[in-house]
C-alpha cells in the first residue's frame, strides 16, 4: 500500500470518527448557536459564514480539519439557529454583528484563533481583527473580500441602493428573496450543478422565510456600504500586522472576483492564493480541495507544532 493511499485511509477514518457538538450560548442578550469539533487544547479556527447561509456551510469542512484544530463555527445573529432579535432592540449593522461575535469568542474561551472568513464573515472577522490584532494568528479567506477590485458588477444594484435608499428600492430588494435567487448563488459558476447538494439552498430559504428575516437582511444590504468604506482600514491592518493569509476563491464567483484574492498579496506579499474552478459556495463542490491547502498552510502547521501558539 502506498503512503498516499494509507494517508487517505487515515483521513477517511478521522472524518468518520469526528464528533461535532451543537451548542448554544448566551452572549449578553443574544443566544448564539454554534458547531464545535476538535480538542480544546488544539489551535483554534473560528469559522464565520456569509449570506445567505449559516454554519451549516462548514458541515463537510469541519470533519476534515478536526484532527488538528479546535473548530468553532457560530451562526451570526439573525442567521441560522441563532437569535434574530427584533429590529427595535437590535440594529442590524456589521459592526454590531462583530461586537456580538467578538464577545462570543470570549464566552466560549477563544483567546487566540485563526479566522476563516467567507462573504459576510469577512467584515465581521476583520472588524474583530482591527480591534484585537494580537488575537488573530492567521486568516483564511474564502471569497472574503477587502478590496474594491474584488467587487463584481453584481454589486451595482446594491451600490445604487446605498446612494438612494428609497422605500421602493427596499421593497424591491425584499421581494428578491426567492428560491431561484438563493439557488443561483450556489450553482452560478459551477461546472457540474449536480455536485451541489440541494440541502444548502433549501435550508437557507427556510431561514429566510421566517417572519422579519427579509427586513433584517435588507438592513444588512444597506449597511454593507460601511464595510467597503473600511477597506482602507482593513488594508492598513494587513500591511501593519502581516497576518499569515491564505485566500481560497472560486474563480467563477459571480460576486467576488479573483482580483480580490490576488490583491491581498499587495499588502501581504507572502499571502497564498488558490483559485478552484467553481463558484461562490466553493465548499459545496471543492471541500477536499479547500481542506488540503489549509492543512498544508505552513503558519497553521507551525501553530500545531507550538511555534506560534
Q: What are phi and psi of 169, to 5 degrees?
A: -65, -40
Spatial separation of the C-alpha atoms in residues 220 and 42, rounded to whole Å: 34
Are 140 and 117 contacting, i.e. CB atoms less than 8 angstroms apart?
A: yes
Spatial separation of the C-alpha atoms in residues 243 and 246, rounded to whole Å: 10
* Best CA proximity match to 242, nearest among 211, 266, 262: 266
**Could you tell me how far CA 292 lies from the centroid of its own chain?**
18
Known catalytic residue at 214:
no
- Residues 6+ positions from 43 with CB-CB distance below 8 Å: 68, 69, 70, 113, 114, 137, 300, 303, 304, 309
- Residues 6+ positions from 205 with CB-CB distance below 8 Å: 179, 182
Q: With 0-12 CB in 10 A as exposed, 13-18 as middle and 19+ as buried, what is 192?
A: exposed
From the list 214, 274, 280, 286, the catalytic residue is 280
* Best CA proximity match to 40, nearest among 122, 110, 125: 110
- Active-site residues, by number, are 280
Amino acid at each position: 500500500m502506498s503512503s498516499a493511499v494509507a494517508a487517505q485511509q487515515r483521513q477517511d477514518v478521522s472524518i468518520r470518527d469526528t464528533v461535532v457538538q451543537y451548542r448554544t450560548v448566551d452572549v449578553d442578550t443574544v443566544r448564539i448557536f454554534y458547531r464545535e469539533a476538535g480538542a480544546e487544547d488544539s489551535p483554534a479556527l473560528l469559522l464565520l459564514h456569509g449570506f445567505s447561509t449559516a454554519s451549516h456551510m462548514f458541515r463537510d469542512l469541519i470533519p476534515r480539519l478536526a484532527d488538528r484544530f479546535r473548530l468553532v463555527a457560530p451562526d451570526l445573529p439573525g442567521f441560522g439557529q441563532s437569535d434574530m432579535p427584533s429590529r427595535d432592540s437590535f440594529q442590524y449593522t456589521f459592526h454590531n454583528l462583530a461586537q456580538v461575535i467578538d464577545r462570543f469568542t470570549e464566552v466560549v474561551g477563544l483567546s487566540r484563533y485563526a479566522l476563516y472568513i467567507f462573504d459576510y464573515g469577512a467584515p465581521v472577522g476583520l472588524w474583530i481583527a482591527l480591534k484585537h490584532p494580537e488575537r488573530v494568528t492567521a486568516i483564511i479567506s474564502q471569497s472574503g473580500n477587502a478590496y474594491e477590485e474584488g467587487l463584481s458588477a453584481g454589486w451595482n444594484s446594491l451600490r445604487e441602493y446605498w446612494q438612494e435608499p428609497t422605500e421602493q428600492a427596499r421593497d424591491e430588494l425584499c421581494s428578491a428573496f426567492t428560491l431561484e435567487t438563493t439557488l443561483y448563488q450556489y450553482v452560478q459558476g459551477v461546472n457540474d450543478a449536480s455536485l451541489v447538494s440541494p440541502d444548502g439552498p433549501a435550508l437557507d430559504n427556510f431561514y429566510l422565510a421566517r417572519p422579519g428575516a427579509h427586513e433584517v437582511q435588507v438592513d444588512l444590504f444597506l449597511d454593507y456600504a460601511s464595510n467597503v468604506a473600511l477597506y482602507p482600514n482593513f488594508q492598513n491592518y494587513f500591511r501593519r500586522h502581516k497576518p499569515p493569509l491564505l485566500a481560497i476563491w472560486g474563480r467563477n464567483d459571480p460576486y467576488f472576483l479573483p482580483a480580490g484574492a490576488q490583491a491581498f498579496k499587495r499588502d501581504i506579499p507572502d499571502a497564498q492564493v488558490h483559485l478552484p474552478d467553481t463558484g461562490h459556495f466553493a465548499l459545496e463542490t471543492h471541500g477536499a480541495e479547500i481542506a488540503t491547502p489549509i492543512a498544508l498552510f505552513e503558519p497553521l502547521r507551525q501553530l500545531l507544532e507550538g511555534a506560534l501558539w
